[in-house]
Structure 1
Amino acid sequence: MKKIIVSLSIALLTLSSCSDFIEEDNRSNAETNEYLKASGFESLINANYAQLKDIYGGEPWLFVAGTDLYSEGRNREPIELSQYTQLTPASPNVDYLYRECYKAIQRANTALYYSTLTEKTTTLTTRIGEVKYLRANAYFLLVQTYGGVSLDTEYHASPVLSFERNTAEEVYTFIIKELEESLSLLPAGAFTGRVTKRAAQDLLAKVYLTRGYETFGAASDFTTAAKYADEAIAGETLTLSYNDLWFPSTTAIDINKETIFSVQFSAGSNSSNPQTTGNGQASYFSSYLGGSEVATKAPYRSYTLLPTDFAIGLYEKGDKRWEGTFMTQAYATYYDFYTKADKTGLTVAHFYVPKWMTDAELAAYKLANPKATIHLYGSYGTSVTFSNDYQTIPVRKFDDPKAPFATSASSPRTSTRDFVVSRLADTYLIAAEAYLRTNPTTGLARLNEVRRRAGVIAATSGQFNIDYILDERAREMIGEYNRWFDLKRTGKLIERASLYNPKIKASNFDGANGEKKILRPIPQEALDLNQNKSYPQNPAY
């Protein structure tokens, strides 16, 4: 590869005020070089993991906005990403993953460079495998979001301001090579905070599955995706209840047996600036609930990414994910749900009526809870006219009772719960989707393992198609950062977003040159920094 590819984590400093981790160490270049060759190498590895907090802990828009499951409430989403009509290369938030992923890539390149110079410890090969996974993950986020991007595998001590664009096919080839190389370097066993072989198998399944839909995908991609998904599953069934899967942990590390990979947050690392360095996931998926300044002691909610009526209507009677996902019954003091083992005598403030509740059942509930505000089914999705708090049903699965109250929508990153990147039920559904193309009987069995844990009847072979899989992924994974990628991968983005999101029409996706705005545009500031002016923009822009 030509050595004209920019070190974007350096060149894009104009897009971010964040200091590089080496600069924070406050050593001269020579001192830093010797430090990283010796005891500082482990710090360099830790810096690679730390970058995940900025990839996943902050803005959610590129992951979930503009889809069938979420729409805006009283506070507006970035209209360009959520509705597509005004989307341009200079739009706000378009650059988020471009910037943060290239920072991760440069940190990985730096670690791999110093891995050839540092002491040959017993953990060195494992660390190399971890970094290869992290670099591959960053490139996978980039290629799904922007298409072909610049492949940079070299350590740069200073900016190089001319770079070329690789094709998406070349990027996928690199990602697969990187991950398959990592398999022989990574340890087997349960996830304890670092990348394992299982995490690489899970990511390989997703990469092969996604490439399989591309025009350049190999005929065997779906088969290979299914193989890697099954290897990651390793015969393990879903044994945790859905509630236990998400109930806030009382331990310092929020890991359970179904976690395949997650980003680690902690109160200690978040203490310097708890409004901007924690996990913001809990803040987005609800109407405003009041806050720490009032008696309810409710968590901060931004009132921006709210479940659509379609998303709420996907659940059926008996689905344990309904109660495990939503705060269907909010007490007068919100966090009593988590902190009070005995809820006898607690006052219910809000109740969200499920679609299957009969009139007689509702009448009995009102009699037993006379102080509850009753939200009838059909009145608490994004079709509602917003006027008060608790107008839409809160997604509670990311709640963190230990988090300080956020101050605003611009600084909601107060949670210290871990961010789950991949988990076992997700892998089952990836396997189901891969087998849909190759062995539908096996694919249906993978999907029905997820439904079995949810407590609902098994799907039939007549129901088993890509839309049913997407519906099941919605029921299982609402609020998790994968929906835009799911719809983009399967070619369902325009269809489902325009059908089920009240803010989106199919014509919103019409772009330049007769192209559809599926890929996000290459950020304008990245193009402006590039002295190679032949770097192409995505054709819809």
Structure 2
Amino acid sequence: MNNNRLNFIWILLIGLLVSLGGCDDFLTKEVLGNSTDENFFDTKYKLQAALNASYDVLQMDLFNECEWRFGEACADDVWGGDEGLGSQMGQLVHFRFNTSNEWIRNRYDINYKGIHRANQVIANVNRVKLSIYDYNSYREIREILGQAKFLRALYYFNLVKTYGGVPIRQETETVDNLVIPRSTAEEVYAYIEKDLREAAIMLPARYVGNDAGKADEGAAVALLMKVLMYQAIPGEKSEKWEEIVRLGEFFVDGTPLTFGEILKFDNTVETWEALRKRLWFQPQEEIQPSDPYETDNTLLNPLHNAYSIEYKDYYGNSISYVEQFFQIGEFCKGSVFEVVFKESADGSGGDENEGTPIYTNHYSTSPQIWSTDAIIQEIFSSDARRSFMIGHQQYAPDGEIAQTGPGRHFSLKWYTPIKDRPQYGGDNGKNRRLIRYAEVILMYAEALNECGKGDLALIKLNFLKSQANKIDNSSNLYVGGGYGYMRDQIWKERRIELCYEWDRFFDLVRQGRAAEVIKIYGAKRANKRGYYFRKGINELFPIPQSEIDISNGIVVQNPGY
């Protein structure tokens, strides 16, 4: 070994000893400038980033896959390309699955992911440090908190209507509370209602401009109406139906509604000022003479002029019925809440938040679900909205010839016009309409009929039908009748107006006729898809088996599974 090489080795050894001697000091030094769980939420910008993560779940491919697989493919308005009993999806739509089915697990997990992210906002909102203690500073934080409450309610609503009662997760989760028993469906619904009632008083009537797409008061009230409707039983009197009427009077007719009324405020449970502070209204001691002070008698922002059943875009320009579902119709007068998608504009891959499956899974040469002539006739008969179904070798509104395959029909609600298509594949920016004003009208009409006000229900029902008649200048309207006759007409209009928006299965369940309708459908199919639906069992899906196993019996399974 030469001397130069020996010297080099000694230099390396000495350097290593020096570095090891300094390791202890280095590792014990405080890391400066990084976010920790103590300071991550200390500004509104960081809190907004956490809120964005909860919105992000709505955009995920898996979330939307589960929406149509459960809400549409399990019902009677479509056929599917994956209905063989050898696949997890085929077993799902046949109702011949086991409790380890991957789609049952996927829907459970993706909604809890949204809940966890919303909880991060709600649990940490009080860590925000305001730089200015003025009314607008409190309002900005309050609106972020209100949106998180809406999103949490939406995710829990998806869970409770799919599985029944589910565990209500702690806002701050620790090792000690990761496994908790299921709450009852009634308890989960009460939890959802509380979030939505509070969100309604915390949010502006409707977000516009660059804020369009955020959950607002209109979205909170509309979802509250739907949550109440899912708890009410058709044909049975209940306070739920009565409250839907009251909310409909506010939303549609413009009848004033106070904070106290929508909250069902009870000062024996919580004082008004304590509630104001919890929801980030400006504390009374900090209010300036020019600042408003909200009380339980403060009126909610009116909504009846914020929405319309007329086919008009965001700016008030006339559009066609089907254009409500295209990019030109995003945030239109008839849209209450949308899942917002944006193109990446650079063709980047691996993004789960692009909205592509809305186009490729449903409007393509190899679709996963489609409709048939017989189903279309059953849904629409001669209704003008039938014209917005498209079959093989037929022309789309922009002149494209549909290559759907013989006998297959698609809803143009799933169509992306050529001019709206992304530059890069797998990067669709088409928004999904989650709550529409038409459904608010229909919920109001149904509740009126349930409360013995069939004459008023008919007026609301024909208010919507008259707008649809403008498509072809027809004059067909619904006619009055007894309770059952009116109910059936309202349900018929729900099926026509809301078809192919991924909610049919759950609508049948809450109406109490899923078994009847799906078994009749299954009897007509050669593969008997749906014929083995078990009444009293399959209205709910099982809790994923992995949840039962990991809880060591704390989480119990639904009956029949």
TM-score (norm 2): 0.71
The aligned residue for residue 554 of structure 2 is 534
Alignment of 1:210-289 (within 5 A): 210-213=230-233, 219-233=238-252, 234-235=303-304, 237-240=308-311, 242-246=320-324, 248-249=326-327, 254-268=330-344, 271-273=347-349, 276-279=352-355, 280-285=357-362, 288-289=364-365
Cα gap change, 1:114 to 1:516, in 2 (>3 Å):
closer
Q: Is the partner of 2:309 in helix, strand or coil?
A: coil
Equivalent of 2:127 in 117, 120, 124: 117
The aligned residue for residue 205 of structure 2 is 188
Equivalent of 1:71 in 79, 82, 85: 79
> Does the 8 Å contact 2:83/2:93 carry over to 1?
no
Q: Deviations over 1:225-282 (max 9, x none)?
A: 22223433344541105535435225xx932121100111000289533774322223
Cα gap change, 1:506 to 1:478, in 2 (>3 Å):
closer
Paired residue type of 1:169: E
Q: Is the partner of 2:40 in helix, strand or coil?
A: helix
The aligned residue for residue 445 of structure 2 is 432
Paired residue type of 1:447: L
Paired residue type of 2:91: E
Higher helix fraction: Structure 1 or Structure 2? 2
Q: Deviations over 1:19-42 (max 9, x none)?
A: xxxxxxxx9995354233234211
Q: Is the partner of 1:261 in helix, strand or coil?
A: strand
Structure 2: give runs of 5+ residues left out of the alignment: 1-31, 131-136, 253-302, 312-318
Equivalent of 1:309 in 342, 349, 374: 374
Cα gap change, 1:308 to 1:230, in 2 (>3 Å):
farther
> Does the 8 Å contact 1:259/1:424 carry over to 2?
yes
Q: CA shift at 1:174, angstroms?
A: 1.0
Equivalent of 1:389 in 391, 405, 428: 405
Q: Deviations over 1:109-148 (max 9, x none)?
A: 1101221101343400111111111111111111110000
Asked if residue 201 in structure 1 is aligned to residue 221 in structure 2, the reply is yes
Q: Distance in 1 between matches of 2:375 and 2:164?
A: 29
Equivalent of 1:57 in 64, 68, 82: 64
> Does the 8 Å contact 1:222/1:434 carry over to 2?
yes
CA RMSD of aligned residues (A): 3.2
Between structure 1 and structure 2, the one with the greater Rg is 2
Which segment is superposed worse, 261-270 or 484-493? 261-270
Q: Is the partner of 1:441 in helix, strand or coil?
A: helix
Cα gap change, 1:500 to 1:170, in 2 (>3 Å):
same
> Does the 8 Å contact 1:161/1:529 carry over to 2?
no
Q: Distance in 2 between matches of 1:242 and 1:167?
A: 44
The aligned residue for residue 510 of structure 1 is 534
Paired residue type of 1:92: E
The aligned residue for residue 492 of structure 2 is 471
Q: Deviations over 1:430-485 (max 9, x none)?
A: 11222221122222222212211111511112384433323222211221021111
TM-score (norm 1): 0.73
> Does the 8 Å contact 2:509/2:539 carry over to 1?
yes
Asked if residue 130 in structure 1 is aligned to residue 147 in structure 2, the reply is yes
Paired residue type of 1:521: P
Cα gap change, 1:197 to 1:161, in 2 (>3 Å):
closer
Paired residue type of 1:436: N
Q: Distance in 2 between matches of 1:91 and 1:414?
A: 29
Asked if residue 489 in structure 1 is aligned to residue 506 in structure 2, the reply is no
Cα gap change, 1:205 to 1:74, in 2 (>3 Å):
closer
Paired residue type of 1:34: N
> Does the 8 Å contact 2:39/2:127 carry over to 1?
no
Cα gap change, 1:155 to 1:390, in 2 (>3 Å):
farther
Alignment of 1:364-379 (within 5 A): none
Paired residue type of 1:499: I
Q: Deviations over 1:397-440 (max 9, x none)?
A: 22223445999xxxxx6532111110111111111222221122
Q: CA shift at 1:540, angstroms?
A: 1.6
> Does the 8 Å contact 2:362/2:414 carry over to 1?
no
Q: Is the partner of 1:326 in helix, strand or coil?
A: strand
Paired residue type of 1:320: A
Equivalent of 2:42 in 14, 32, 37: 37
Q: Distance in 1 between matches of 2:375 and 2:115?
A: 37
Q: Distance in 1 between matches of 2:199 and 2:386?
A: 38
